[in-house]
């Protein structure tokens, strides 16, 4: 899906799978849950990881940052140093943000091999762990304002028409339940983002047609696999 691309800069294309589009939509949430400790700087993203006191530098300097600093967007932190230390912006710049970056970098120790590999943590600030927990992540996402925003962006008729069908699907296999849940969340999230940019709210009927097409495409592609046998007929029986 990513093929060694950086998750933060990988683009969502027209031909991208719905799974990748859903993952791409989660970037704002992931930023708030991902913690970082700088080691050798060989895996940390210079622009997108929170490895300094200012936060992700792409948020500080914006899209002009790579040009102003002379450091590529896909660079790791280890590529932001040279034999003398940090690659710093000029002290004579009139850009106050660049001066802030200059001062912060001067206060930090450059990455080096003796510090060991970079390490990541996951969870809410103050309670992050060095492993990923599906249960704790779900609790965090379920309570987050972003997830609530998905629901609040839809009017009552939309949820009223969509709800009874969605509850009815809960009588089918766990594999199909997971697939329907993921596809539904993705479509609702996509609709919410479109609304935020001024698009017209889709009707429940239109949303369901999109969901039906996504589910059928996936089930058709897996109809000869063990876990996919019989699922298409079960899906059609609940329409």
The C-alpha atoms of residue 160 and residue 2 are separated, in whole angstroms, by 37
User: What domain range is 178 assigned to?
Assistant: 144-237
Residue 128 lies in a domain: no
The C-alpha atoms of residue 196 and residue 188 are separated, in whole angstroms, by 12
Q: Which residues of the chain have pLDDT under 70?
A: 1-22, 138-173, 195-199, 227, 238-239
pLDDT the model gives residue 111: 93
115, 177: one domain: no
Residue 139 lies in a domain: no
148, 99: one domain: no
148, 219: one domain: yes
pLDDT the model gives residue 15: 65
Residue 12 lies in a domain: no
pLDDT the model gives residue 117: 92
DSSP string computed for 211-222: HHHHHHHHHHHT
27, 75: one domain: yes
pLDDT the model gives residue 27: 72
117, 33: one domain: yes
63, 116: one domain: yes
Residue 162 lies in a domain: yes
pLDDT the model gives residue 141: 64
Of residues 33, 28, 10, the one with CA closest to residue 20: 10
Residue 118 lies in a domain: yes
34, 109: one domain: yes
pLDDT the model gives residue 172: 59
58, 117: one domain: yes
pLDDT the model gives residue 129: 79
pLDDT the model gives residue 18: 64
22, 117: one domain: yes
Residue 83 lies in a domain: yes
pLDDT the model gives residue 154: 42
pLDDT the model gives residue 14: 62
pLDDT the model gives residue 207: 79
32, 71: one domain: yes
pLDDT the model gives residue 179: 79
Residue 166 lies in a domain: yes
State if pTM tops 0.75.
no
> How many separate domains does the chain show?
2
pLDDT the model gives residue 110: 93
104, 151: one domain: no
pLDDT the model gives residue 227: 67
Residue finishing a domain among 122, 156, 182: 122
pLDDT the model gives residue 13: 66
172, 93: one domain: no
Q: Classify each residue of 56-69 as buried b or exposed e, where b means 16 or more C-beta atoms within 10 Å of its C-beta.
A: bbbebbeeebbeeb
Residue finishing a domain among 62, 90, 122: 122
Residue 136 lies in a domain: no
């Amino acid at each position: 899906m990513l093929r060694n691309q950086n998750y933060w800069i990988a683009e969502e294309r027209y031909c991208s799978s719905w799974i990748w589009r859903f993952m791409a939509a989660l970037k704002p949430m992931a930023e708030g849950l991902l913690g970082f400790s700088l080691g050798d700087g060989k895996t940390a993203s210079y622009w997108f990881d929170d490895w300094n006191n200012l936060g992700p530098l792409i948020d500080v300097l914006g899209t002009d940052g790579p040009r102003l600093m002379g450091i590529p967007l896909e660079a790791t932190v280890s590529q932001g140093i040279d034999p003398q230390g940090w690659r710093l912006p000029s002290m004579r710049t009139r850009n106050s943000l660049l001066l802030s970056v200059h001062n912060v970098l001067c206060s930090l120790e450059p990455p080096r091999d003796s510090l060991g590999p970079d390490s990541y943590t996951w969870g809410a600030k103050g309670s992050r762990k060095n492993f990923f927990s599906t249960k704790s992540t779900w609790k965090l996402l379920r309570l987050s304002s972003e997830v609530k925003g998905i629901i609040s962006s839809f009017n009552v008729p939309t949820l009223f028409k969509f709800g009874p069908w969605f509850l009815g699907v809960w009588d089918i296999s766990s594999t199909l339940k997971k697939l329907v849940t993921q596809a539904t969340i993705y479509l609702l999230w996509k609709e919410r983002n479109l609304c935020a940019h001024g698009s017209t709210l889709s009707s429940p009927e239109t949303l369901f047609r999109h969901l039906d097409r996504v589910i059928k495409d996936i089930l058709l592609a897996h109809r000869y696999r063990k876990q996919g046998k019989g699922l298409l007929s079960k899906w059609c029986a609940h329409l």
